């Protein structure tokens, strides 16, 4: 069983190597990509089932027990997020492959897209699975560097600025992460998370706080927590549709996952975390208000993404089992729904030729299927029942209400942010799907990767991949019972910390 | 002060392969040096690769030394002498290096050991006698290949690629 | 019961296929399920009026989320409206939507969907189940009001309805969670049986009422309801008169038995209810669009129902059930009549309609019956309900009782007045207006109207049929619904209401003049709120999201400084006896690195800067050697050399100087200050933290011990890199792999030419060739 | 490795200066200076990582000393990995700067046009209340596209 744990990391890397070596054959590249991601999804299912039944699964790489070697740990939280991420990655890959076939022809080869895509997937898997702070850094670098390449690939002059913002901010955050690792090592002499959990308690409480804040900032940048979020709405919207979908779905959640993992494992608290509560309020409101101000549908979605990161931060800030499990459930649903919405936005843009809301209209009549594909994830994001978003939001509200008056007040902000989200999405609906149908606009930036105004050249698999993701998010709603039970147990374990440490270190501290 | 103002703002591009400041005469000395140093550095890099387990060195350092040998060759010979000794695209070298490293990691799974386990391999090679090596040497070889590939790829893009752009922009004629 | 609800949704999803063959048939098919539902409910009336019929399906038990249903007296009464009137209106829609109507396909499916979710709402015995269906009705209503979305007024009305009802709905959700957490259960029957108390409940109830008020168009949230009248008439009749708008009233009715004795519950309900009844009635008197007359009438009646259900007391509850049914049975036919008139006469403006009494006598009679019930004339159900309402509060007496009773009386006067206005406006022959030409409506249109109007009359006469569920809801007692309770104050009040109403109608021209001075307009309030929200959004976003990369990076550094700096100052201590250096060579090397670093900052030329960076790099490598890290130093030397080469490669094409427009001096000082503080904080934190270390490295000794035999390497660093932590190495070469591919794609594929034409590109605009050309 | 791990003052100052210079350069508008900032900052972090292991000692090669005199090897290994990763990122950013120069003729980081446009608005363009199309002047208003962090 533990042999499987390394595969979600190593298989995509191997796949990336193969797609480079065989870059002359586009068919090989596509097959390798899909097969690898299918395998990762299947492994993730096994890991989820097994870790739920038996507690955290640990692979000691090279046979070296922690803290000498690097341990990969699949517990409920990491396995669940791994599974959802793998499914999203797979669907987006299918979408991207067919978009490329439609736009450039079946025989077009690319030396970069497939390898980068698989490397990104490997980085994401490693980030979820690693039990080592430095390996987490390496995972982030794999993931982020691949994302840099994907976002700047074939950019036009108009969009290169977005890439620069993204890359520069991410680089600063990476260097701060490295700084944090240096500081952690200086103070404790270890980078193994489970080991660290014990050693950090030997420090004076004030210095523990320093380390906690440092890691909060580092992962806060990745997770787009206000006021560290600015880069996101300026960069994601300029990425090609599938890439933006992948980023929006995965990257911020990996950042949040790292925050969730480190804060619960290393910096135990008994009370709700006031600072993070405040930041979560700011994140929810700044994101939602930002969405209302936008005219570009992708920027609007990006701001909503930020806003809903605040929901997850709220769950973490409550800092009890209910809150943490709510945050985990929210993250799982959020990965699918944001990716879906960006894919739909890509389909919309292909049809209308623009991302500007005030220049489209009438798609409900001309593209009713697209209207359904938009409506379901939109309702999910707004948390309208009976969607997955509602279930996850309910979990957060319950946690907030149970934890005391202050967290109840923040739960009120969750409510307000939900309303603003709904308003923003209703406006998209009104602007895009209602109103008079308008003719497709010509491609205003023909240099870039995004081909628009080509509805007739949109192949069915692109819709199918999007519909598949919609189905995943509906499945999360239908199977909310078992899923929330899993996240519930995950939350208890995260707060308890002992199962993780015992599994990694062999003995309880 | 004028000297300080001028010295680092040359009127001609730097480090153009095979070009000297005035005219098209190759820099003989540099070229000879490169031709002599190139194989020496490659051998030295192999040495670093093999001793890495016992003293400073290892796949990284070895790969970088080999890479610098290619850099030297590029500067001396330019696109004319540029390239791998064998006709293979740099991305393939990189990919192969990565593949070797990952396979080294995966193979132990087939025999039931944890991923990335290493073991001591003892092989009796005729003439040389028994040779023993740690299997992690394969990882080092992968790293070595990959780094060489990366450096050559950088020469291809940042080196030859930019020179091509300059040629097309008519900023520089070889 | 879940199956019944789901059946609605499944059939609705399949309806478009029926529509494709015949649009009329789709409505007919859609009507079957609601009719069956009504039959099912009536067949189960016995258990419903007794212990109740329950069913529960688990969904997410960890969150207390289950789909729990219960058929009881209140639900039964609501099903009469939801499914009974629903079936009738769907039949009516067969005639209303023409066989070629483009809206029919969507409307049929959505109306049936709505019938399903509304059924789920009234059957729900769980707060969360109720919320699920509650929001679904909002969404369905949004789509039904918006229709094809091609008309601006439809869009605006749909969004307004959605936002207002969801605002309340979300507040209600928080209220439900508070209530559920306080009670330890979300099961409504259990909560009402043993109501929890405490501050959480006090906070929960107003939130829940907010949901009820917005849904049932109570003051000041009511404007969405008249605005929603842009929807097709069957939609208005069904959603915005008979069923959906009753959801708020229904919710109050559900929870009142548990909470009506709390002031936090009944005071807002009574105040909002009475206010709504009066405002709605008053506004109805000034409308010229018949649908809006009815819409404001609905607002008014919803206020009335709120008071009856929210004020508490058995008799009020009896009256509530009677009025609930009565309202559905008179308001639905009235709406359908407006639809029929509009189709027949081409207008629903009461200033343009004239003489329809003679041209459409059948409809006029039906309208008279329904309007009489609305006005509270015997022997109709509306009279029965109103009598009971007066009795409830007059019987209660005291300030509260009399105040409410008089308020209801005033509201009833207005009700009678607008009932008269409706009849007059629709059917009367008006002086100076030529009789409107009409063509007669078909039986599919008139039969549903007659059926529902007659039901109001029949149930008025056969009042025990209503009394049974009413008593089952309100509890046993002496007072019962009846047509004749003898002479008394309630009868007097009813008489005053009718008389007063007719008087007001007669004096309508004067009343109209008064209406010009309406001081308060909730619609403006809504629009102002939305505009304000958008303004805030733009202002906040414009200020926060400045779009400048240096600003973003500065923010990150500021956050680091602000969070880490003070925490370190308060949480740690500067080590005593910090050594100046560990090895004397560190001082000159460190100095060289520092000087080079400061010089880089001042460098104006790219090449200088790069050389200085090289100095730093080699200096750091030297520090690594001093620090006992030869492997690291070797790698650093080589990497630094390679970096220099790469830099120079790129610098060949860039201008010698940094091309940036000079920034203002103040900005530069700010940056310098921030950078200095940032650097100081990092260095300071590092010193403090390193001094706080209490235990040696957990792994150092292990590595040294294990390396020779375990990893077969004397060089511990090599052992770590390729064995102990080989995964890091794999990841690291992965990063190199990615970066090399990225560099190649950026430099070589500078411009992708989609059509595969390698047209030449201007200098400085990149290369026309694909990366693939170079690869191959 | 024994004794206090306390970082000595000389190294602390060196690290502090490297961070200061790196931060300052990061805040500039020229991508090349930002890049140099990243490199300088990278040197700072790598140095920090290495000195986090403790005071200098013997090279971590078995046989050169006892476990007490040998420096902690782990930070060195981590720093080595970090050095290579920083190098990879540097070359990538270098290529990005080059491409920016090729495409737009300079390597200066511009402000986001859409952000600046929103900052000059009074109401959202896609507000529900006005249906008429916007004129192009909103979209190309770049008058205020520069702003400093101060």
Quick: pLDDT tens for A369-419: 999 999 999 999 999 999 999 999 999 999 999 999 999 999 999 999 999
Average pLDDT over residues C270-288: 93
Residue C154: CA count within 13 A, CB half-sphere: 21
pLDDT value at B132 more than 60: yes
CA atoms within 13 A on the CB side of D90: 28
Q: Which domain holds residue B70?
A: 26-168
> Quick one: which H or E segment has residue B121?
strand B120-125
> What mean pLDDT value characterizes chain B?
76
The distance in angstroms from the start CA to the end CA of chain A is: 25
Q: Tell whether D119 lies on the interface with B, counting CB pairs under 8 A.
A: no
* Residue A90 neighbours by CB under 8 Å, 6+ apart: A34, A37, A38, A41
| ipTM of the prediction | 0.92
pLDDT of residue B81: 45
Residue A289 and residue C178: Cβ atoms within 8 Å? no
Q: Give me the count of residues in chain B.
A: 174
Residues in C touching D44 (Cβ below 8 Å) = 682
Distance between CA D126 and CA A422 in Å, rounded? 15
* B46-63 per-position pLDDT tens digit: 888 888 777 777 888 899
pLDDT at C181 over 70: yes
Question: CA of B153: which chain D residue's CA is closest?
Answer: D91
Backbone angles phi, psi at A91, to 5 degrees: -60, -40
Q: At D102, which helix (H) or strand (E)?
A: helix D73-104
Decide if D48 and A191 are in contact by the 8 Å CB cutoff.
Answer: no
In this structure, of A311-325, B45-59, C369-383, C532-546, the range with the lowest mean pLDDT score is: B45-59
Q: Which of D14, D40, D111 sits opposite C548 (nearest CB)?
A: D111
CA distance B13 to chain C (A): 5
Q: What percent of chain D has pLDDT over 70?
A: 80
Tell whether C574 is within 8 A of chain A (Cβ).
no
What tokens were used for C153? 């007024």
Q: How far is B157 from chain A (nearest CA, A)?
A: 14
Question: Helices C152-183 and C522-544 meet at what angle, rounded to 10?
Answer: 80
**Which pLDDT does position C660 carry in this prediction?**
67
Which of A70, A189, A386 shows the shortest C-beta gap to C725?
A: A70
pLDDT band (50, 70, 90) for residue C565 = very high
Name every chain D residue with its beta carbon within 8 A of the beta carbon of C701: 67
Query: Tokens 């979820």 map to which residue?
Result: A128
Q: What is the C-alpha separation between B105 and B116, in angstroms, rounded?
A: 4
Contact between D6 and C687 under an 8 Å Cβ cutoff? The reply is yes
Omega prior to A415 cis, within 30 of 0: no
Of A152, A168, A357, the CB nearest to D34: A168
Q: Which residues contact D139 (CB under 8 A, 6 or more apart)?
A: A356, D117
Kindly list the partner chains of chain A, i.e. chains with 3 or more CB atom pairs below 8 Å. Answer: B, C, D
CA-nearest residue of chain C to A476? C60
Angle of CA points A463, A467, A473, to nearest 5°: 150
Summarize chain A as % helix, strand, coil (round to 5): 80, 5, 20
Residues of A in contact with D104 (CB under 8 A): 157, 160
Q: Which of residues 6-65 of D touch C (CB under 8 A)?
A: 6-30, 32-33, 36, 39-40, 43-44, 46-48, 50-63
Strand partners, C58: C66
Question: How many CA atoms within 13 Å lie on the side-chain side of C546?
Answer: 18
Contacts of B166 in chain C (CB under 8 A): 652-653
Q: What is the pLDDT of residue B17?
A: 56
Q: Calculate the CA dihedral of residues A213, A216, A217, A221 and round it to 10 degrees.
A: 180
Contact C384, C466 (CB under 8 A): yes
CA distance A184 to A191: 7
**Hey, of C733, C739, C774, which one would you mutate to test binding to chain B, going by the most B CBs within 10 A of its CB?**
C733
The rounded mean pLDDT for chain A is 92
D143 close to C (CB below 8 A): no
Q: What CATH number matches the domain at C560-700, 1.20.120, 1.10.287, 1.10.10, 3.30.2450?
A: 1.20.120
> Cα separation of C137 and C188, whole Å?
20
Number of domains in chain A: 1
Hey, of C729, C746, C751, C762, which one would you mutate to test binding to chain B, going by the most B CBs within 10 A of its CB? C729
Interface of D with C in 104-123 (CB under 8 A): 105-109, 111-116, 118-123
- pLDDT of residue C774 exceeding 50: no
CA atoms of C113 and C651, how far apart (whole Å): 66
**Predicted confidence (pLDDT) at residue D16 exceeds the cutoff of 90:** yes
Helix ranges restricted to H, C518-664 = 522-544, 549-571, 586-602, 606-626, 630-651
C-chain CB neighbours of D120 within 8 Å are 542
Q: What is the pLDDT of residues C480-523, one digit of tens each?
A: 999 888 888 999 999 999 999 999 999 888 887 776 666 567 88
Query: Which chain D residues contact residue C594 at CB under 8 A?
Result: 13-14, 17-18
Whole-number Å distance between alpha carbons of C545 and C532? 19
Q: How crowded is residue C566: how many other Cβ atoms within 10 Å of its Cβ? A: 13
Name the nearest CA neighbour of C459 among C383, C386, C364. C383
Which residues have CB under 8 Å from D15's CB, separation 6+?
C679, C682, C683, C686, D7, D44, D47, D48, D51
Whether D135 shows a pLDDT value over 80: the answer reads no
Subunits touching C (CB < 8 Å, at least 3 pairs)? A, B, D
Disruptive mutation site among C632, C670, C711 for chain D (greatest number of D CBs within 10 Å): C632
pLDDT computed for residue B79 by the predictor: 52
pLDDT tens digits, A133-152: 999 999 999 999 999 999 98
Average pLDDT of C568-594?
Answer: 88
Cis peptide leading into A67, omega within 30 of 0?
yes
Domain count, chain B: 1
CA C14 vs CA C11, C24, C100, C102: distances in Å: 5, 15, 19, 17
What pLDDT score does C764 carry? 28
How much of chain B, in percent, has pLDDT values that exceed 90? 21
User: pLDDT at position B12, please?
Assistant: 54
Look up residue C300 and give its two tokens: 């008014």
The CA-atom distances, in angstroms, between C540 and each of A297, B34, C535, C643 are: 19, 61, 8, 43
Helix then strand then coil, in percent of chain C rounded to 5, is 75, 5, 25
User: Cβ of D95 and B55 within 8 Å?
Assistant: no
Please state, as a whole number, how many other Cβ atoms lie within 10 Å of the Cβ of residue B43.
Answer: 13
D: neighbours with 3+ CB pairs under 8 Å? A, B, C
Please report which residue ranges of C692-766 form alpha helices under DSSP H.
700-706, 716-719, 726-747
Please give the angle made by the CA atoms of C12, C18 and C24, to the nearest 5 degrees: 100
pLDDT single digits (tens) A116-132? 999 999 999 999 999 99
Q: Which two tokens stand for residue D88?
A: 């990879």
C349: which strand partners? C289
Beta strands per DSSP E along C318-440: none
pLDDT at A111 > cutoff 80: no
Q: Are the beta carbons of D60 and C704 closer than 8 angstroms?
A: yes
**What's chain C's length in residues?**
776
User: Is B130 contained in some domain?
Assistant: yes
Task: Indicate the pairing of strand C53-60 with strand B120-125.
Answer: unpaired
Query: Is D147 in contact with C546 (CB distance < 8 Å)?
Result: yes
| CA A362 – CA A434 distance, rounded (Å) | 5
What is the model's pLDDT at position C770?
33
Chain A nearest-CA residue for B117 = A62
Give pLDDT, residue D148. 37
Domain residue ranges of chain C, discontinuous segments joined by +: 1-259, 266-508, 560-700
Label residue C669 left, alpha or beta by phi (over 0 means left) and psi (-120 to 50 means alpha): alpha
Choose among D31, D96, D134: nearest Cβ to A358: D134
Determine the Cα angle at A102 with ends A99 and A107, to 5°. Answer: 105
């Amino acid at each position: 069983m533990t042999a499987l744990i390394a595969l979600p990391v190593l298989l995509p890397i191997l796949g990336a190597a193969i797609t480079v070596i065989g870059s002359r054959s586009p068919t090989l590249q596509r097959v390798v990509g899909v097969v690898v991601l299918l395998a990762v999804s299947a492994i993730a299912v096994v890991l989820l089932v097994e870790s739920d039944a038996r507690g955290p699964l640990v692979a000691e790489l090279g046979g070296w027990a922690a803290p000498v070697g690097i341990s990969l740990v699949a517990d409920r939280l990491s396995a669940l997020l791994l599974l959802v991420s793998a499914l999203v990655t797979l669907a987006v890959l299918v979408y991207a492959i067919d978009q490329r076939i439609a736009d450039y022809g079946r025989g077009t080869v690319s030396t970069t897209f497939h390898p980068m895509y698989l490397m990104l997937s490997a980085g994401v898997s490693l980030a979820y699975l690693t039990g080592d702070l430095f390996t987490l850094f390496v995972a982030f670098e794999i993931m982020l560097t691949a994302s840099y390449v994907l976002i700047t690939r074939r950019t036009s002059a108009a969009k290169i600025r977005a890439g620069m913002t993204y890359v520069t901010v991410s680089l600063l955050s990476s260097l701060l992460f490295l700084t944090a690792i240096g500081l952690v090592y200086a103070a404790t002499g270890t980078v193994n998370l489970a080991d660290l959990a014990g050693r950090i308690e030997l420090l004076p409480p004030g210095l523990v706080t320093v380390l906690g804040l440092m890691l909060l900032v580092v992962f806060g940048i990745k997770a787009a927590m206000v006021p560290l979020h600015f880069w996101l709405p300026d960069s994601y919207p300029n990425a090609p549709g599938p890439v933006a979908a992948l980023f929006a779905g995965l990257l911020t959640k990996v950042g949040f996952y790292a925050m969730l993992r480190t804060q619960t494992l290393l910096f135990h608290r008994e009370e709700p975390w006031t600072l993070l509560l405040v930041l979560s309020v700011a994140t929810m409101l700044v994101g939602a208000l930002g969405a209302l101000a936008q005219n570009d549908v992708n920027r609007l979605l990006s701001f909503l993404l930020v806003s809903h990161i605040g929901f997850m931060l709220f769950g973490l800030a409550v800092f009890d089992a209910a809150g943490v499990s709510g945050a985990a459930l929210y993250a799982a649903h959020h990965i699918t729904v944001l990716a879906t919405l960006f894919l739909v936005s890509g389909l919309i843009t292909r049809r209308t030729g623009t991302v500007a809301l005030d220049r489209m209209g009438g798609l409900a009549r001309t593209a009713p299927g697209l209207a359904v594909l938009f409506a379901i994830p939109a309702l999910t994001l707004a948390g309208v029942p009976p969607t997955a978003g509602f279930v996850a939001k309910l979990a957060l509200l319950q946690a907030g209400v149970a934890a005391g008056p202050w967290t109840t007040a923040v739960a009120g902000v969750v409510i307000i942010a939900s309303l603003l989200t709904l308003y923003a999405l209703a406006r998209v609906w009104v602007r895009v799907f209602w109103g008079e149908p308008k003719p497709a606009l010509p491609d205003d930036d023909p240099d870039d990767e995004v081909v628009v105004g080509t509805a007739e050249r949109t192949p069915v698999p692109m819709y199918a991949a999007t519909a598949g993701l919609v189905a995943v998010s509906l499945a999360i709603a239908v199977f909310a019972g078992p899923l929330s039970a899993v996240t519930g147990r995950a939350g208890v374990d995260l707060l308890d910390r002992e199962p993780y440490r015992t599994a990694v270190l062999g003995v309880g501290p | 002060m004028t000297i300080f103002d001028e010295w680092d703002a040359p009127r001609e591009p730097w480090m153009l392969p095979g070009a000297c400041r005035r005219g098209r005469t190759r820099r003989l000395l540099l070229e000879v040096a490169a031709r002599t140093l190139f194989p020496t550095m490659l051998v030295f890099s192999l040495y670093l690769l093999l001793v890495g387990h016992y003293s400073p060195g290892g796949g990284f350092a070895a790969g970088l030394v080999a890479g610098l040998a290619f850099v030297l060759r590029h500067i001396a010979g330019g696109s004319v002498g540029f390239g791998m000794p064998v006709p293979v695209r740099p991305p393939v070298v990189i990919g192969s290096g990565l593949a070797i490293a990952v396979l080294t990691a995966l193979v132990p799974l087939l025999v039931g050991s944890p991923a990335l386990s290493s073991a001591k391999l003892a092989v009796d090679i005729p003439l040389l006698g028994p040779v023993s090596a740690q299997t992690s040497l394969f990882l080092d070889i992968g790293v070595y290949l990959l780094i060489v590939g990366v450096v050559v790829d950088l020469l291809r893009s940042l080196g030859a690629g930019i020179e091509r752009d300059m040629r097309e922009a008519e900023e520089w004629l070889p | 019961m879940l199956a019944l609800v789901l059946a609605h949704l499944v059939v609705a999803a399949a309806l478009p296929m029926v529509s494709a063959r015949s649009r009329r048939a789709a409505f007919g098919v859609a009507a079957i399920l609601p009719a069956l539902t009504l039959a099912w409910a009536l067949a189960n009336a016995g258990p419903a009026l007794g212990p109740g019929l329950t069913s529960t399906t688990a969904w997410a038990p960890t969150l207390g989320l289950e789909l729990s249903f219960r058929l009881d007296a209140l639900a039964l009464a609501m099903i009469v409206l939801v499914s009974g009137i629903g079936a009738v209106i769907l039949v009516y829609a067969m005639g209303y939507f023409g066989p070629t109507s483009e809206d029919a396909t969507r409307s049929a499916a959505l109306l049936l969907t709505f019938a399903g979710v509304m059924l789920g709402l009234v059957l729900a015995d769980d707060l969360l189940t109720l919320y699920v269906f509650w929001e679904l009705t909002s969404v369905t209503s949004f789509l039904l009001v918006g229709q094809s979305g091609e008309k601006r007024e439809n869009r605006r009305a749909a969004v307004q309805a959605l936002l207002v009802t969801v605002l309340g709905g979300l507040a209600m959700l928080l209220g439900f969670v508070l209530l559920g957490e306080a009670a330890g259960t979300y099961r409504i029957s259990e909560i009402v049986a043993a109501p929890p108390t405490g501050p959480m409940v006090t906070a929960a109830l107003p939130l829940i009422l907010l949901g009820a008020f917005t849904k049932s168009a109570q003051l000041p949230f009511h404007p969405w309801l008249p605005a929603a009248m842009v929807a097709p008439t069957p939609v208005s009749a069904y959603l915005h008169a008979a069923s959906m708008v009753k959801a708020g009233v229904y919710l109050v009715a559900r929870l009142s038995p548990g909470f009506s004795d709390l002031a936090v519950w009944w005071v807002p309900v009574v105040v909002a209810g009475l206010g709504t009844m009066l405002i709605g009635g008053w506004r109805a008197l000034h409308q010229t669009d018949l649908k809006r007359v009815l819409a404001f009438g609905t607002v008014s009646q919803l206020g009335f129902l709120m008071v009856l259900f929210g004020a508490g007391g058995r008799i009020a509850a009896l009256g509530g059930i009677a009025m609930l049914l009565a309202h559905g049975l008179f308001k639905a036919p009235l709406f359908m009549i407006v639809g029929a008139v509009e189709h027949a006469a081409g207008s629903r403006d009461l200033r343009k309609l004239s003489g329809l009494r003679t041209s459409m006598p059948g409809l006029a009679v039906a309208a008279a019956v329904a309007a009489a019930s609305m006005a509270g004339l015997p022997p109709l159900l509306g009279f029965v309900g109103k009598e009971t309402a007066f009795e409830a509060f007059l019987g209660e007496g005291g300030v509260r009782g009399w105040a409410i009773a008089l308020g209801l009386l005033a509201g009833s006067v207005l009700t009678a007045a607008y009932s008269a206005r409706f009849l007059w406006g629709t059917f009367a022959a008006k002086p100076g207006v030529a009789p409107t030409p009409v063509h007669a409506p078909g039986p599919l249109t008139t039969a549903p109207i007659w059926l529902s109007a007659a039901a109001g009359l029949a149930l008025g006469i056969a009042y025990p049929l209503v009394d049974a569920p009413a008593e089952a809801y309100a509890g046993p007692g002496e007072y019962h619904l009846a047509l004749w309770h003898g002479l008394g104050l309630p009868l007097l009040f009813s008489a005053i209401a009718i008389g007063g109403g007719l008087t007001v109608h007669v004096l309508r021209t004067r009343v109209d003049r008064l209406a010009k001075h309406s001081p308060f307009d909730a619609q403006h309030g809504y629009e102002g709120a939305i505009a304000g929200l958008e303004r805030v959004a733009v202002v906040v976003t414009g200020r926060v999201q400045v779009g400048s990369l240096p600003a973003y990076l500065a923010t990150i550094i500021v956050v680091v400084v602000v969070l880490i700096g003070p925490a370190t100052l308060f949480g740690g201590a500067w080590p005593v006896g910090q050594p100046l250096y560990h090895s004397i060579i560190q001082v000159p090397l460190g100095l060289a690195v520092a000087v080079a670093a400061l010089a880089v900052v001042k460098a104006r030329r790219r090449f200088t800067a790069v050389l200085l960076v090289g100095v730093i790099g080699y200096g750091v490598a030297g520090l690594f050697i001093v620090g006992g890290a030869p492997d690291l130093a070797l790698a650093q030397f080589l990497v630094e050399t390679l970096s220099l080469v790469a830099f120079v490669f790129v610098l060949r094409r860039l201008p010698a100087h940094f091309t940036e427009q000079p920034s203002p001096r103040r900005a530069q000082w700010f940056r310098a200050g921030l950078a200095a503080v940032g650097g100081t904080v990092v260095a300071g934190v590092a010193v403090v933290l390193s001094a706080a270390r209490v235990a040696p490295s957990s792994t150092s000794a292990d590595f040294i011990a294990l390396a020779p035999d375990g990893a077969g390497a004397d060089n511990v660093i090599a052992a770590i890199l390729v064995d102990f932590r080989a995964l890091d190495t794999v990841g690291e070469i992965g990063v190199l792999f990615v970066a090399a591919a990225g560099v190649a794609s950026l430099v070589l594929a500078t411009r992708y030419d989609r059509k595969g034409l390698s047209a030449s590109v201007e200098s400085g605009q990149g290369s026309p060739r694909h990366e693939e050309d170079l690869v191959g | 490795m024994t004794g206090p791990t306390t970082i000595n003052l000389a190294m602390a100052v060196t690290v502090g200066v490297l961070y200061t210079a790196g931060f300052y350069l990061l805040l500039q508008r020229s991508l090349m200076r930002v890049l140099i900032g990243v490199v300088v900052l990278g040197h700072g972090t790598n140095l920090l990582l290495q000195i986090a292991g403790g005071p200098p000692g013997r090279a971590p090669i078995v046989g050169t000393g006892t476990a007490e005199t040998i420096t902690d090897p782990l930070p060195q290994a981590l720093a080595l990995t970090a050095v290579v990763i920083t190098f990879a990122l540097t070359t990538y950013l270098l290529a990005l700067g080059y491409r920016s120069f090729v495409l737009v003729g300079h390597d200066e980081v511009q402000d986001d046009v859409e952000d600046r446009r929103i900052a000059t608005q009074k109401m959202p363009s896609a507000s529900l209340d006005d249906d008429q199309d916007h004129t192009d002047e909103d979209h190309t208003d770049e008058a205020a596209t520069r702003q400093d962090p101060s």
